[in-house]
Amino acid sequence: MGLAVRSVGAAMATASAWLALVIWTTIRLRGDQGPTRIEDVDPGAAYVNVLLWGVVATLPITGAVAWRLMATVQSHWRRGGLSMVGVLGGVSLAMLMTYLAWQAAGAPGLLGLAVAAAVLAWFLARLARIEARTSASR
């Protein structure tokens, strides 16, 4: 149980860190004055592609973190299901947190969220690896 919770938590924190960096990069590329009408959006613009592909990349990155941390789980169904919990929960949480960070503190808030979430992901991943080693030696 501890391994699953820590692995899913690390995946969720990874999603938050990644998505905060994607949104921050999009804002930096877009500049202060973004388009106000949908017709003004250039589909070939760098900020559009960073946002589109960055959000899409959040899904496999989050899933890979959870899947890798639960490498000692023998059941692929259980491992996959828990990885999907990390993906869906992580992306939902990350979208909410990036919105709140942007509204509360702007671009510095997004960077702060990215750093805090990355540190949390590292810490939870470390605990998950320790748990995996401990349970494998039993």
How far is the C-alpha of 71 from the C-alpha of 108, rounded, in Å?
A: 36
| pLDDT tens column, 52-93 | 999 999 999 999 999 999 999 999 999 999 999 999 999 999
How far is the C-alpha of 81 from the C-alpha of 62, rounded, in Å?
A: 13
Cα within 13 Å of Cα(23), Cβ side? 25
Which tokens go with 41? 């959006």
What is the pTM for the complete model shown? Answer: 0.92
CB atoms within 10 A of CB 108: 11
pLDDT bin (cut points 50, 70, 90) of residue 138 is low
* pLDDT score, position 1: 67
In three-state secondary structure terms, 72 is coil
What torsion do the CA atoms of 15, 65, 132, 88 make, to the nearest 10 degrees? 60
Boundaries of domain holding 22: 2-32+41-137
Domain count, the chain: 1
Contact 4, 81 (CB under 8 A): no
